[in-house]
Structure 1
């Protein structure tokens, strides 16, 4: 059964953009973008994302390798709902499953700014490079804070405000601060949800505004991880009650203290390589199915989508994208022999394509699970997944399927296999099943702190309580095995690493 994680941004859909005729693909060191737009437009978005990634990596002191994030710019809410059924007011979302990870953005809404895309990517980055226990307000406030960065020339302005959030703060009703500190967005109507996001942004902006407040935030997060009461953590870190914090934030926002900050734009000195290609003629009909297959199609949509993919592919019998999407759908939900023929033709033209090798491995893995499967099927799956891993060492799907093809359980797994599970957890901590398996290995090895970092975001997940319960059980094992008096690998009394540090103040909004 498909299981994934989705972060949804709710917003007003903006004015319609004019229709464009040609789909393009832009690949850069950290991203693969797809859009029905001009080369210059897609290249600009790719460059912005690369600069944004470099900014976050620099501030978080992270050089950890990661799979490239696939980002699809689609045309309106109908297209968004083709990939996943989301509320009608959705402007973009991010999904992570063991099938793949992607962001889907409404290009009509995104055309007036990058806030949606940056918000989604910040969530992805936090999971990838900063896994830990955070209160919901910090997760959302962190994404809001960095979603408003502005790029100009050779620098980046950080800490700007969103007009919508500013309006909620200055003109709207505030939620009780105790509710923000101790709860999430579940159960809030649209107006209250907007207030929650706005107050979360303001909290992060306030705590990032001075070195002293950054230290207080570090103390807050440490206290929260010990005992997840936002009210108690606030008192321990700042000496303030929620009401006192509310008064302090009102003074902060109304007293002209909102300063933006500035950092060097990395691409000004060293532009990243970006390769833009025109996609096949079938793209307009096939790209949404490709996106859906990448993140996993919900069970009730699989057979209807298979029939629609077959009908669309018949219009493009020699088109490589149509063949690829059809092969993917057939091997999962339809005729495996047809998938074999299509994949063999595609691999003859692109023998080093890691995704095609992965799909060939998936074909053999499905065959190995069928009744009366040939004995060679599992070995063939292992071979193809190994080739995909060699072609792309960050291809986490090939890595976990490679382990699956070995037909072993964790208790009997070799140390090499266990290493692969840990590696998968490092590459895709956003995927719950991968993090759980990696954490089990780490606990067995006595690496309790790393296990806790993987498990903590799952325990705090409000959208899947059974998952949170499973993660919490493992977390208790890790906490029980760790030496007493240790918090996140540091003795009690020593502050853990602080939040993402803000650059020096530059100006005032």
Structure 2
């Protein structure tokens, strides 16, 4: 599972969560906090304003309704944030991820400050805005942008500060990126901006540090903005990364200009006034005891549950939900936790309770169906009547909640898990799910594999490219370390991937061009 972590160093101890939670909902966010409702509303207002500034700067079309909103969990401090992860991380200020449960982020309400000076060392808001920029780009501009621009733009935009009188401070200095530029050797931009999968070798941090200063340089003048706009237009028109570099003219001269800019003692920032900037409608409520009891559980489900701890987690959920078994949300969470633990009978029992409360319950139909599918797969069943019946439940669930990606994926996998190429209806459902949560990487890879199975190689490449080009090449040592960690802290729903996204891209490009793919590690 890909998860974006901001890591700091220090001793992490578990801290008990407070029981009382508040919930805020706005155009783009559903946020939870165990602080005051007033504080929660202010934080959501700030997030919405940032999102609207970002939309204005990029010219993106604003949706009237967002089908899948980002869940934000605001916890008291870094200690609680680190404790929400399923494994020891050494110290985490905050993190963001998109899973089949949707996009979410867990952040502290406090910045990390230097104990001696009182100055902020790490800003949770800046980290969150960086990741929201990534989310925004995937949602509104799902092109295969190169990693230097993906990370550089997110750093440049993520540092925005919005004052109380709606002035957005853009282009603020990032000391950590400047320090990296001073410390590391400069990577020629013609290589950084046009990396060759499997061949280009340079530190991945260059995508961030040099990406940031390059974007900063381009945004510092009208001429630079025009060049960047032309560059992005070329990429969206289908030009290769190498051909699109023509937008910058002489690339070696451009390299020298950016490098000189990186050595300036001061770089320009600007304040842009948005007099009509508002957060839009925000509703805030204090949650009931039943709803409060579920917040921490659902946050941990999104964060990940280890295979080794799934049974214990299900026992905990069973205890928490026991007083609320007439509550549909409690039964939904219980059915989910039991299935994660492999407790099929218990998950089915919770699903049946849901269907008793509401015979048309979409979640009741979903959990009954996926447990039935597990049983049919285990039995290698060829009973088409049984398969049709369980798919009918999924169709009913999708009709009731058409924007729930888990339903669409389960419908698709009711075919693919049998080794059968899914029909067009299932393929369309899967594609819709990816449209809803484009940053869910396992879902993207599943769509890529579907296209490849149908011989749609260019479609597979186009779908994979935003993921593959957004990742740096991985050394064999780094790959071994990642696989060792994954084996030690394997999460429920983790899938064994025979190849990384970059390896898959190299293979698909070779397949498209009728060439043999290079051996792994070459």
Deviations 1:277-317 (A, max 9, x none): 41435746x53432232355343332343344345445776
Q: Give CA deviations for 1:441-486 in whole Å, capped at 9, x if unaligned.
A: 6679998876544221232234685232224434555688xxxxxx
Match of 2:73 in 1: 72
Contact 1:100–1:295 (CA under 8 A) maintained in structure 2: no
Q: Spell out the pairing of 1:97-112 with structure 2 (5 A cutoff).
A: 97-98=99-100, 100-109=102-111
Number of the residue aligned with 2:345: 337
Alpha carbons of structure 1 residues 410 and 320: separation in structure 2 relative to 1, 3 Å: closer
Equivalent residue for 1:493? Answer: none
Correspondences of 1:1-20 after superposition (within 5 Å) = 4-11=1-8
Partner of 1:427: 436
CA contact (8 A) 2:8 2:90 kept: no
Counterparts of 1:363 and 1:237, CA distance in 2: 60
Are residues 166 and 102 of structure 1, via their aligned partners in 2, closer, same or farther at CA, if it must alter by over 3 Å?
same
**What does the per-residue CA deviation read over 1:97-146, in whole Å, with 9 as the maximum and x for residues that have no partner?**
34543222233338976222212222222222222333333222222222
The question of 1:383 aligning with 2:392 is answered: yes
State yes or no: 1:200 paired with 2:211. Answer: yes
Q: How many Å apart are 1:247 and its aligned residue?
A: 1.0
What is the TM-score of this pair, normalised by structure 2?
A: 0.72
Deviates more, 1:400-409 or 1:165-174: 165-174
Q: Distance in 2 between matches of 1:148 and 1:207?
A: 16
Instruction: Report the secondary structure of 1:429's partner residue.
Output: coil
- Find the residue that maps to 1:26 and give its secondary structure: strand
1:83 counterpart SS class: coil
SS in structure 2 of the partner of residue 267 of structure 1:
coil
**Alpha-carbon offset, residue 199 of structure 1:** 4.5
Aligned to 2:46: 48
In the TM superposition, what are the counterparts of 1:287-366 in structure 2 within 5 Å? Answer: 287-294=295-302, 296-313=304-321, 322-346=330-354, 355=363, 357-366=365-374
**What is the CA-CA distance between 1:399 and the residue it aligns to?**
0.9
1:129 aligns with 2:140: yes
1:42-191 superposed matches below 5 A: 42-58=40-56, 59-62=58-61, 66-75=67-76, 76-77=78-79, 79-85=81-87, 87-98=89-100, 100-109=102-111, 114-152=125-163, 155=166, 157-161=168-172, 165-166=174-175, 169=178, 173-178=182-187, 182=192
CA contact (8 A) 2:147 2:207 kept: no
Partner residue of 1:396 out of 402, 405, 409: 405
2:115 counterpart residue number: none
Q: Residue 215 and residue 172 in structure 1: after superposition, are their counterparts in 2 closer, same or farther (change >3 A)?
A: closer
Structure 1, unpaired ranges of 5+: 481-509
1:257 aligned to 2:263? no
1:240 aligned counterpart, secondary structure: helix
Asked if 2 retains the 8 angstrom alpha-carbon contact of 1:156 and 1:263, the reply is yes
Alpha-carbon separation, structure 2, partners of 1:36 and 1:419: 40
8 A Cα contact 2:68 2:102, kept in partner: no
CA contact (8 A) 1:9 1:93 kept: yes
Residues 441 and 312 (structure 1 numbering): CA distance in 2 closer, same or farther, change over 3 Å? closer
CA distance in 1, matches of 2:322, 2:161: 45
CA change 1:274–1:69 in 2 (3 A) is: same
Name the CA shift for 1:318/1:392 in 2 (closer, same or farther; >3 Å). closer
Q: Is this contact kept in 1: 2:24–2:285, CA < 8 A? A: yes
Aligned to 2:73, the other structure's residue is in SS state strand
Contact kept in structure 1, 2:81 and 2:106, CA below 8 Å: no
The aligned residue for residue 274 of structure 1 is 283
Q: Tell me whether 205-214 or 338-347 shows the greater mean CA deviation.
A: 338-347
Distance in structure 2 (CA, Å) of the matches to 1:97 and 1:19: 23
Asked whether the 8 Å contact 1:137–1:200 carries over to 2, the reply is yes
Tell me the residue number matched to 1:466: 500
Measured after TM superposition, the shift of residue 396 of structure 1 is 1.4
Structure 2 CA distance for aligned equivalents of residues 18 and 341 of structure 1: 30
Question: In the comparison of the two structures, how many residue pairs are matched?
Answer: 464
Pairing partner for 1:368 from 354, 362, 376:
376
For residues 472 and 66 of structure 1, the distance between their equivalents in structure 2, rounded to whole angstroms, comes to 34
In structure 2, runs of 5+ residues without a counterpart are 113-121, 196-200, 480-498, 515-522
Deviations 1:245-265 (A, max 9, x none): 2112334x62x5332434455
SS in 2 for 1:88: coil
- In structure 2, distance between residues paired with 1:329 and 1:152: 43
Q: Which SS does the other structure have where 2:439 is aligned?
A: coil
Residues 71/39 of structure 1: CA separation in 2 closer, same or farther (3 Å cut):
same
TM-score relative to the length of structure 1 = 0.74
Shift in alpha-carbon separation, 1:387–1:28, aligned structure 2, 3 A: farther
Which residue of structure 2 aligns with residue 25 of structure 1? 23
Q: Give me the whole-angstrom Cα distance separating, in 2, the residues matched to 1:208 and 1:92.
A: 28
Correspondence for 1:240: 253
Which stretch of structure 1 is more off in the superposition, 274-283 or 129-138?
Answer: 274-283
Distance 1:121 1:332 in 2: 29
